Amino acid sequence: MTGTPGSPVRERLAAAFAASGRPDSAVAPRLRDGVAARVRLVALLVVLGAVTWRRGEYFSGSLDPVVLAKAAVSLLALGLALLLAQSGPRRPLGTGTLWWVGLWLGASVLGAVTAGNAVAGGVIAVRVAVLATTVVLLLRAAPGVQVLTAIAGACGLIAGVAALSGLPSFVAEGRLAGGVPAIDPNDLALLAGVAVVVLAWRLVLDALSGAGLLAVVLLLGIVWATGSRTGLAVLLLALVVMAAHIRRPRVGLVLSGLVFAVVGVVAVVATGAVAGFAARGGDGSSTLDSRFIAWRASLTWADSAWQQYFGGGLSVKIIRVRGQYWDTQPLDSSWVSLLVQAGVVGLAVAAVWLLWIVRGTRRAPRSHRILFLGLLIFVVGRSVLESGLFDATPALLVLLAVSLLAEGGSRARLADDERNGALPA
């Protein structure tokens, strides 16, 4: 931590050093630990405010205790992040990401106003803006890896609590869903998957402890129990891509990995777990077929050219379908959802934004690039068949953090973080 002469930051540091009676090097680690603890607290609050608290319900603009409580948690996270950013030196951070988010968010607001969804669409747009601002403030105040690991830790913690409290749903329905908070199975798999990716990254860097390895096993068990086929498939793909970056794997790591693989294959073959997981209680490919119905309906959803280009707002989560014995259906793809919510303009902006993130990720330092690639493959891969990437959700939270750190205005600080020991050891 540094500060200009006479600044409040330097005065507080000097007072801390004088009061301790120790040299600067003895006090600085304690100050850094204090910042890390506050980052973890803010990350926990912002993730808690982004997850769903009720299953099967969509925000329509009306206020109730749950909506107000989530808003209070998100605003508390924003306020604490602001205090944290003001308490120390500001770290360099690019602003290109905010322009991309502003463009597709603005398109959705224009569409919401003309479609008569101004209140509901506007509220969700404000929630996205609050979430983005919180992430920016966190990255201004702390190293990027510290922020990402704090977000992943919060995701893992909430996933663990939700899974334990949701065990009755697994017994009754065969799919694990969150109890407290009431998270649906796919979103629960997202939370656990984000934590697994970050722990796997630590494993690639040879910085994962025995407790961390146990956490990976438990979190993978949660993903499996949710029955989220898309989530598990893209998570395994992300892990394979990250594993390919291991340069000199330890003998113990290789042996344990082989033993784990053999045991897993034997267990799968003996129990038929894969076939049961793929069939998921007899659903088979019916869920994918229903997705195709909604996707086709999204192409003719707009009632006017304006809605075709700008959508109907982020509150549109259900679409009309024709030719079926049901009249409406939820949108189950983030990209199809964005086409309906922000129109062709918003969809095009988001697609270019994603390519821009990939370009920045390829130019990031190797250790960061491994983490960014794993997170991108997971959150973007699942967005093809699952919704929520372009909404006030943990998936967008992760995408925003990666985008802000991978862009040109931020990449220079990543190398400095490596030299200053910000990476796990």
Give the separation between CA 379 and CA 425, rounded to whole angstroms: 26
Q: For the chain, what is the mean pLDDT?
A: 85
Listed in sequence order, the DSSP H helices in 116-178 are 118-141, 144-165, 167-173
Q: Indicate the domain borders of the chain.
A: 32-247+293-419
Which of these ranges, 56-60, 195-199, 248-252, 340-344, has the smallest mean pLDDT? 248-252
pLDDT (mean) for 362-390? 95
Read off the tokens for 124.
Answer: 């969700």
The CA distance from 132 to 400, in Å, is 7
When pLDDT is cut at 50, 70 and 90, the band that residue 258 belongs to is low
φ/ψ (deg, to 5) at 319: -125, 150
Instruction: Kindly list the distances between the CA atom of residue 125 and the CA atoms of 96, 103, 180, 224, 392, in Å, as whole numbers in the listed order.
Output: 19, 12, 26, 33, 8
What is the token pair recorded at 7? Answer: 């600044």
Secondary structure letter of residue 46 according to DSSP: H
Phi and psi (nearest 5°) for 241?
A: -65, -40
The CA-CA-CA angle for residues 187, 191, 196, to 5°, reads: 135
> What is the predicted pLDDT for the residue at 249?
67
Q: Hey, how many other C-beta atoms are within 10 angstroms of the C-beta on 403? A: 27
Whole-number pLDDT of residue 83 = 96
Spell out the residues 6+ positions from residue 43 whose beta carbon is closer than 8 angstroms to its own: 138, 147, 150, 151, 153, 154
Beta-bridged to residue 330, according to DSSP, are 318
CA atoms within 13 A on the CB side of 46: 38
Going by pLDDT thresholds of 50, 70 and 90, the confidence category of residue 98 is very high
- Give residues with Cβ within 8 angstroms of 256, minimum separation 6: none
pLDDT digits (tens, 9 = 90+) for 16-49: 434 434 433 344 455 566 889 999 999 999 999 9
